[in-house]
Amino acid sequence: MPTDFSILGHKLASRCGILELMDDLGQAMTTDPTMRMLGGGNPAHIPAVQAIWRERMAAMLADGGAYDRMLANYDAPRGNPHFLNALAEFLQAECGWAVKPENLAVTPGGQTALFMLFNLLGGPSPSGQMKRILLPLVPEYIGYENQGTSADFFIACRPIIERLPGNVFKYHVDFEAVAQALKQGVAALCISRPTNPSGNVLSDAEVQRLSDMANEHGVPFIIDGAYGLPFPGAIFSNAQPLWNENIVLTLSLSKLGLPGTRTGIVVATPEIAAAIAAMTAVIGLANTNIGQQLALPLLQNRSLGALSREVIRPFYEQRSQLAQTVLHEAFGRAHVPYAVHRSEGAFFLWLWLPGLPIATRELYRRLKARKVLVVPGEYFFYGLGEGGEAWEHQRQCLRLTFSQAPEIVREGIEIIADEVAKL
């Protein structure tokens, strides 16, 4: 007999997009080496970066005391004090922000940071009003969708789509739509920058304007910097990092090549950072401390900034260019209408197939049968409310990661173009 789950239990335990994506990713990365993994957001194994983490681990092992303390002690829920100090100083020096350890909290990954923030701020308020999280631009990260613990948690705005020469397009924030949505009483605004899935990077002007609008309405503005600034720096445009007391910035060590350490960071007001530390204590007592210890000296000697700028950014930018070349060649040969979002950051190409006669979930299934994993675009469009369904663009996009080996990416894209041409 099936167990009676609560409403929240059903919501969190349902078979959803992020579960399918992470299951597929986990299988492909462990037990199915024949799968061409253009699916999840796994970071690339960059040899120069891996060497650093290996060296750090060896140094910790050699210093038995440090290694033993790392494994045998719980950290305080907010994070390791040495890590918090070093991070605050790093953010002051790299970005010029007046950040102190009180402005920081470590979490078990950026994903958990966002779960905590959304539910700290959004949902039914003490006054009884339902306050939702406003996504100023969808498509937006698949991993947020099921994180709200009450129904109808997100409200989202469609973007303005600019068509560019050479089968390229770009999303821009529709500020009119954002202004209308803000009238409905929201808890916070949230963007990922760079955006997963599109590889869009909202311009400094767009981010500043959203920050001003959030300020005017007295609500926080969450910027998810999982791929962004100041680390890992997978941004190929001229964007600057932005933080102020009304911005809640989330960062992660994952895309620095450390997803296995599950280390996220919240940069916020002391009030919000303390609330996140309290939530960590309730949910998990403390954080994993391995990532914090691995990264500590790179924060202290500031080399994490240079690593991001000089190694990580050029690596992904080159991978992106390679994937774009392959994509334009393959789809050019296939003679199907297509466009790709301008690649400004993160690990993905966002492909738009305006004439696609089948759902992208069906295309995903057919491609999986041909040993190519992608992520169907439908998952990234949510919170659009009544009338959202009518927007056909949401059924015409696919997300492909270019972080895996170039030959895998080439083969995968060629198979996708071949499959689409047959439809």
Interface positions with ligand PLP (CB under 6 A): 41, 109-111, 141, 143, 192, 196, 224, 226, 252, 254, 259, 264
CB of 58 to ligand PLP, least distance (A): 24
User: Distances in Å between the alpha carbon of 344 and those of 317, 324, 355?
Assistant: 8, 12, 25
Quote the least distance from Cβ 251 to ligand PLP, whole Å. Answer: 8
**Smallest gap, in angstroms, from Cβ of residue 379 to ligand PLP?**
12
User: What is the 3 state secondary structure string of 299-337?
Assistant: HHCCHHHHHHHHHHHHHHHHHHHHHHHHHHHHHHHHCCC
Minimum CB–partner distance for residue 259 and ligand PLP (Å): 5
Are 106 and 263 contacting, i.e. CB atoms less than 8 angstroms apart?
A: yes
Question: Residue 138 CB, nearest distance to ligand PLP (Å)?
Answer: 13
Residue whose CB is less far from ligand PLP, 198 or 338: 198
For the bound state, the minimum distance from the C-beta of residue 306 to ligand PLP, rounded and expressed in Å, comes to: 22
Closest CA to 323 of 409, 405, 197: 409
Q: In what helix (H) or strand (E) does residue 246 lie, and over which residues does it extend?
A: none
The nearer residue to ligand PLP, 101 or 109, going by C-beta atoms, is 109
Q: DSSP state, 408?
A: H
CB of 225 to ligand PLP, least distance (A): 8
**In the complex with ligand PLP, which residue's Cβ is closer, 141 or 236?**
141
- How far apart, in whole angstroms, are the C-alpha atoms of residue 120 and residue 271? 11
Question: CA dihedral in degrees (282, 189, 86, 346; nearest 10)?
Answer: 110
Residue pair 351/334 in contact (Cβ under 8 Å)? The answer is: no
Structure tokens at 128: 């009884």
Q: How far apart are CA 382 and CA 389, in angstroms?
A: 9
Q: How far apart, in whole angstroms, are the C-alpha atoms of residue 49 and residue 45?
A: 8
Q: Smaller CB distance to ligand PLP: residue 346 or 420?
A: 346
Nearer to ligand PLP, 114 or 415 (CB): 114
Nearer to ligand PLP among residue 113 and residue 327 (C-beta): 113
Nearer to ligand PLP, 49 or 415 (CB): 49
